[in-house]
Chains A and B, each alone.
Chain A
């Protein structure tokens, strides 16, 4: 038993990711019948990127909900979802990405697949990491808000044209399980499956490419990292700037210089790797 808990502690993050993903996608009947959950809990957002059309989803995706509210002609400002993101961001920042996001878990598992050459980052990483903010501004906020039909109603552009989490968690299972949906798929479905396929390949090659370069939710939570209540501190008396933390960081962050980088997903590898115990939570 003690051995079990020792192993569990060693794999604490993976355990939390698996348990949280299972709990927030616990509507097993949906997977069996090709339907989605229709209960009241879906009025509450989950912290991670988790499509509300996933057959198992018991809550709502904050990015989907944000677009749904912004594109609704009756609202045009999303107090509810933005308030939720502020609360979660102020407490946890990108801890959510590292510990609670189902699509983060998928990428973590894909990165475990052996490949003859793994990359620390993609070429152009310095510029590519800004792309998630462009996606947030254009596809999540501006287009749903201003590209509207004759009745003033917009669309969830990020969900429609980009989100690979929706394709994996909802698009593929629903199309496989539901004959009616299967008969109406077209070029858009093929486009989204192609994005997912590219991201799956890239996730084997480089650690968390979607979180680094594309995720608008990670972009929002990242802005909170420097001030969130859960943050890292460097003990300057102990730190020798040896760089062991950066070497251990799969996102290649110089933790000793910037412990609360907007890119940090709080996996904790830097803390474990520090030979001087200089990084504190």
Chain B
């Protein structure tokens, strides 16, 4: 694969990534992440 094609694939991933992030924000996933992150995650610390 040429270096140019690799760059095209990488930039395509960046574009799809931006669309995905926007979709995630629109669906409210960001609030779900925040909700989980601002409370002590008992599973993460080994309490379950």
Contacts and interface: CB of A to CB of B under 8 A. Distances in A.
Interface residues of B, number: 38
A85 B14 CA distance: 9
Contact of A175 (B13, B29, B45): B45
Contacts of A68: 32-33, 36
Q: Is the interface of A mostly helix, strand, loop or mixed?
A: helix
Interface in A51-104: 51-53, 57, 59-60, 64-65, 68-69, 72, 74-75, 78-87, 89-91
B24 A79 contact: yes
B46 A193 contact: yes
B36 A52 contact: yes
A50 B43 CA distance: 15
A38 B43 contact: no
B6 A69 contact: no
B21 A79 contact: yes
Interface string B5-45: 01101110110111111111101111111101111110111
A90 B33 contact: no
Given A75-B29, A229-B7, A65 B37 contact: yes
A36 B44 CA distance: 13
A185 B47 contact: yes
A224 interface: yes
B44 A80 contact: no
A278 to B, nearest CB: 16
Contact of B24 (A38, A81, A227): A81
A90 B20 contact: no
Contacts of B13: 86-87, 89-90, 224, 227
Contacts of A72: 32
Could you say which of B10, B17, B33, B48 has the most chain A C-beta atoms within 10 Å of its C-beta?
B33
Contact of A174 (B6, B11, B24, B40): B40
A231 to B, nearest CB: 7
Given A79-B20, A86-B16, A227-B6, A155 B40 contact: no
Contact of A80 (B6, B16, B20, B47): B20
Contacts of A155: 43
Nearest to B8: A227
A83 B17 contact: yes
Nearest to B36: A68
Nearest to B34: A43
Contacts of B23: 79-80, 83
List the 8 shortest-distance A-B pairs measured between CB atoms, nearest first: A80-B24, A83-B20, A86-B17, A79-B24, A83-B21, A90-B13, A87-B17, A171-B45
Interface of A: 36-40, 42-43, 45, 51-53, 57, 59-60, 64-65, 68-69, 72, 74-75, 78-87, 89-91, 155-156, 159-160, 163, 166-167, 170-171, 174-175, 181, 184-186, 188-189, 191-193, 224, 226-229, 231, 233
Given A64-B41, A81-B33, A186-B48, 6 more contacts: A52-B36, A80-B33, A82-B17, A160-B43, A170-B45, A193-B46
